[in-house]
C-alpha cells in the first residue's frame, strides 16, 4: 500500500505507520499485512475524516487527467 498524504499524524498513526514499515511486517504474510493496512485505513476513516475527504476529492481529478492523457 502506498499512501502519500499531507496531514498531521496522531500518535496512533505514527505507531501504525511504524508497524507497517517494520521489518517484521515487510516479511509478514499477505493476510497479516492487509489486516494491518485495513486497520490503519479504518483509523484514518474514523479519526482523520479530512484525509478521506481530500482523497475522495482528489480521485475524480486524477481520473480526468488519465483520460486526458489517453485521448491525446
Ligand atoms: Zn491518527
Distance CA 45, CA 39 (A): 10
Determine the distance separating the centroid of ligand 1 and the alpha carbon of 14, expressed in angstroms: 7
CB under 8 A, 24+ apart: contacts of 35-40: 37/1, 40/13, 40/16
User: pLDDT tens per residue, the chain (72 residues)?
Assistant: 455 566 788 999 999 999 999 999 989 999 999 999 999 989 998 999 888 787 778 777 766 676 666 555
Determine the distance separating the centroid of ligand 1 and the alpha carbon of 49, expressed in angstroms: 10
Determine the distance separating the centroid of ligand 1 and the alpha carbon of 30, expressed in angstroms: 23
CB 5, CB 51: distance < 8 Å:
yes
Cell of 45: 476513516
Distance CA 5, CA 8 (A): 9
Distance CA 43, CA 53 (A): 14
pTM strictly above 0.95 = no
Amino acid at each position: 500500500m502506498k499512501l502519500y498524504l499531507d496531514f498531521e499524524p496522531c500518535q496512533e498513526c505514527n505507531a501504525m505507520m511504524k508497524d507497517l514499515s517494520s521489518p517484521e511486517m515487510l516479511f509478514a504474510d499477505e493476510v497479516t499485512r492487509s489486516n494491518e493496512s485495513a486497520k490503519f485505513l479504518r483509523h484514518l476513516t474514523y479519526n482523520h475524516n479530512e484525509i478521506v475527504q481530500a482523497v475522495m476529492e482528489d480521485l475524480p481529478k486524477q481520473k480526468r487527467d488519465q483520460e486526458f492523457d489517453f485521448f491525446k
